[in-house]
Amino acid sequence: MNRFKKKIFIIPVLISLICISYLIYQTFILEKTAHVNYTEFLKDKKNGNVEAVTINDASTLKIKLKNGADYYTDNPRTLTFKEDLLTSGISVKESNVVSLNKSIPSSILIICIFSIVIMLSKKIKVSSSMTSMEILNNEKEFKNKYKFSSVAGNEEAKESLNDIVDFLKNPDKYNKYGARMPKGIILYGEPGTGKTLLAKAVAGEAGVPFYAVSGSDFVQVYVGVGAARIRNLFKKAKSKGKAVIFIDEMDAIGKMRSSGKIGGSEERDQTLNSLLTEMSGFNDNEGIVVMAATNRLDVLDPALLRPGRFDRHVEVALPDASAREKIINLYLEQKPCRDIDIKSLSYKTAYFSGAKLESLINEAAIIAAKSDSDFITEEHIEKAYSITIAGYNKIVRDSLREEDRKITAYHEAGHALVSLLKLPEDSIEKVSIIPTSKGAGGYTLSIPADSAYINMQYLKNKIMVLLAGRASEELIFGEKMVTTGAYNDLNESTKIIQSMITEYGMGNSLGLLRKSSLGSLSSEASKEVIDECKAMVENLYSEVKMLLQDNKSILKSIAEGLLEKETLYGADLAKLTNIITPQAV
């Protein structure tokens, strides 16, 4: 198509070249060589050599001699010229031949030039619209074959996204109740955990078009271009009625605005603003859902997370052992394989993301193909595993060591156990040794009984729960083996203790005085406060250790459960420990 257009373009160019050369030939060669003085012509006329003269309006006349030669001479333009010739017995042709000689190619030339200009301007238009097309084509629209069944594991995420699918499929059902469709959903979690896959699956399940862009595409473009792209994207999506818009690497445009930073951030701000404007610009039930992915939720601009914007946050965590088994199964199912111990592979691949598992299986398939084997076997998987592990970064390699998993398991088990014993009102959603984007090890607490006042005993218990990770490590592995894993816990507990003594009036050194109202403390008073904090944390720590010592067998069974399953939910914990909390009933 494009080639054809280029060929068409050549035609007027060629024609005009021909016309130009003809005109040059006409004026400079043909006429110059045969141009004769008017007096010469008069002589020829007098001698009776002239046979015919062609008269026209041009500056020259064409003369034909009796001997067959012809030439041009100047046109005298006298009124009696024709009569003069006729009376001399010379035939006179009155025609425009000469001027036609020039006027036809001239007009062709003009037409050609015109069409070239038109074509050029069209081409410029096309190419400029091409660039905007190309910009738009950065976002790809997929004919989507993904379904939730293409995503193994990630059950919680799938469950929470199911609502969106239902919203997209049956908007009337929700309209009837005046329910508002969530406009923006943020998927957060480690790279390769299937965020993109989930977004595609949402579109696939709902049967709506899927548009994907990446936040990093908007960085380092000229000011205004990013914003225009966002507007185009929404325009396109809206033209389809319903759609899922997916923005990968959301942090590239949605990072917290650091104050005072100029240059480079302006474009990002404009892009972000236009995104927010577009999102608030469409009606709740129009059927456009924006899904964004980021590795970290905490770096995003709070403006993005407000209600009516990206107010649904879905964690897409690294897969635990059973989820890994499902993912491995999913990818092996599609390939010829035999005698593979999927269970043991799923244990060996702790901390692998879905993407890593997929590439591990792919690697095994390549090895099998290279060795001309009919099936992928355990041997190929083994080889692929060592290759993949070698390519892994050190931290993950280290944490794959059994010893480290064990320490993490006891650390998290300590938190869980003390929470069950000391804060039975707080339900434990899950405990996990799979690291989350929030920190090493995963331990989720939700606080259901939100009483209006938090008392001193609650705070002390809370500190004990925080200290329990470290205490458990020490109890099981000895004082010398404690790790830095408790860094975050100690941070938290220190903050609470300090607030108790210096802000909440729960200590002795300041009594009911608040430090923040006192201004700076004398070094003596400061020392007293610190001493009191230290004494408090030491007391609580030894209390925790005692508690764990007394319940060591339960601690062990939680840790072993974690080592086996990697993630334990509230119900699993209740079964393992036989501790009945109000929530578990």
**For residues 308 and 325, what is the distance between their CA atoms, to the nearest angstrom?**
37
From residue 515 to residue 554, the character string flagging contacts with ligand ADP as x (rule: CB under 6 A) and all else as - is: ----------------------------------------
Non-local CB neighbours of 238 within 8 Å, separated by 6+ positions: 282, 286, 288
Is 46 buried (19+), middle (13-18) or exposed (0-12) by CB count in 10 A?
exposed
**For residues 272 and 284, what is the distance between their CA atoms, to the nearest angstrom?**
20
- Direct distance between the N- and C-terminal alpha carbons of the chain, in angstroms, rounded to an integer: 71
Q: Which is nearer to Zn ion, 99 or 488 (CB)?
A: 488
Look at residue 20 and give the partner it binds from ligand ADP, Zn ion, none, a contact being a CB closer than 5 to 8 Å depending on partner kind. none
CB atoms within 10 A of CB 286: 16
Q: Which is nearer to ligand ADP, 195 or 415 (CB)?
A: 195
Look at residue 489 and give the partner it binds from Zn ion, ligand ADP, none, a contact being a CB closer than 5 to 8 Å depending on partner kind. Zn ion
CB atoms within 10 A of CB 410: 26
From residue 451 to residue 480, the character string flagging contacts with Zn ion as x (rule: CB under 5 A) and all else as - is: ------------------x-----------
Residue keyed to tokens 């199911």? 162
Look at residue 12 and give the partner it binds from Zn ion, ligand ADP, none, a contact being a CB closer than 5 to 8 Å depending on partner kind. none
Three-state secondary structure of 155-186: HHHHHHHHHHHHHHHCHHHHHHCCCCCCCEEE
Q: CA 87, 92, 93: angle at the middle one, nearest 5?
A: 165
Are 425 and 465 within 8 A, CB to CB? no
8-state DSSP, 188: E
Listed ranges 57-65, 126-134, 146-154, 378-386: which one lies at the site for ligand ADP (CB under 6 A): 146-154
Please identify which residue in 192, 441, 485, 561 interacts with ligand ADP, judged by CB under 6 A: 192
Shortest approach of Zn ion to residue 154 CB, angstroms?
Answer: 24
**Shortest-Cβ-distance residue relative to ligand ADP:** 354
Q: What is the footprint of ligand ADP within residues 357-396 (CB under 6 A)? A: 358
Q: Does 215 bind Zn ion (CB under 5 A)?
A: no
Q: Does 194 bind ligand ADP (CB under 6 A)?
A: yes
Token pair of 415 as six digits? 């938190």
Smallest CA-to-CA distance from 196 within 232, 231, 166, 161 is with: 161
Please identify which residue in 161, 288, 293, 548 interacts with ligand ADP, judged by CB under 6 A: 293
Among this protein's residues, is 412 annotated catalytic?
yes
Q: Which is nearer to ligand ADP, 360 or 465 (CB)?
A: 360
Which stretches does DSSP call E strand in 380-438? 427-432
Alpha helices in 138-261, H assignment, sequence order: 155-169, 171-176, 195-206, 225-239, 251-254
Token pair of 150 as six digits? 């293409």
Shortest approach of Zn ion to residue 486 CB, angstroms?
Answer: 5
**Shortest-Cβ-distance residue relative to Zn ion:** 469
Q: Which is nearer to Zn ion, 139 or 489 (CB)?
A: 489
Is 483 buried (19+), middle (13-18) or exposed (0-12) by CB count in 10 A?
middle
Q: Which is nearer to ligand ADP, 55 or 152 (CB)?
A: 152
Look at residue 469 and give the partner it binds from Zn ion, ligand ADP, none, a contact being a CB closer than 5 to 8 Å depending on partner kind. Zn ion
Q: Does 489 bind Zn ion (CB under 5 A)?
A: yes
Look at residue 184 and give the partner it binds from ligand ADP, Zn ion, none, a contact being a CB closer than 5 to 8 Å depending on partner kind. none
Q: Does 355 bind ligand ADP (CB under 6 A)?
A: yes
Look at residue 195 and give the partner it binds from ligand ADP, Zn ion, none, a contact being a CB closer than 5 to 8 Å depending on partner kind. ligand ADP
From residue 309 to residue 338, the character string flagging contacts with ligand ADP as x (rule: CB under 6 A) and all else as - is: ------------------x--x--------
Q: Which is nearer to ligand ADP, 101 or 196 (CB)?
A: 196
**For residues 359 and 362, what is the distance between their CA atoms, to the nearest angstrom?**
5
Is 264 buried (19+), middle (13-18) or exposed (0-12) by CB count in 10 A?
exposed
Q: Which is nearer to Zn ion, 324 or 470 (CB)?
A: 470
Q: Which is nearer to ligand ADP, 324 or 515 (CB)?
A: 324
Catalytic residue among 31, 190, 412, 566: 412
Q: Does 161 bind ligand ADP (CB under 6 A)?
A: no
Q: How many CA atoms lie within 13 A of 370 on its CB side?
A: 9
Look at residue 293 and give the partner it binds from ligand ADP, Zn ion, none, a contact being a CB closer than 5 to 8 Å depending on partner kind. ligand ADP
**For residues 378 and 381, what is the distance between their CA atoms, to the nearest angstrom?**
5
Please identify which residue in 196, 349, 419, 577 interacts with ligand ADP, judged by CB under 6 A: 196
Residues serving a catalytic function are 412
Chain contacts with Zn ion (rule: CB under 5 A): 469, 489
Chain contacts with ligand ADP (rule: CB under 6 A): 151-154, 191-197, 293, 327, 330, 354-355, 358
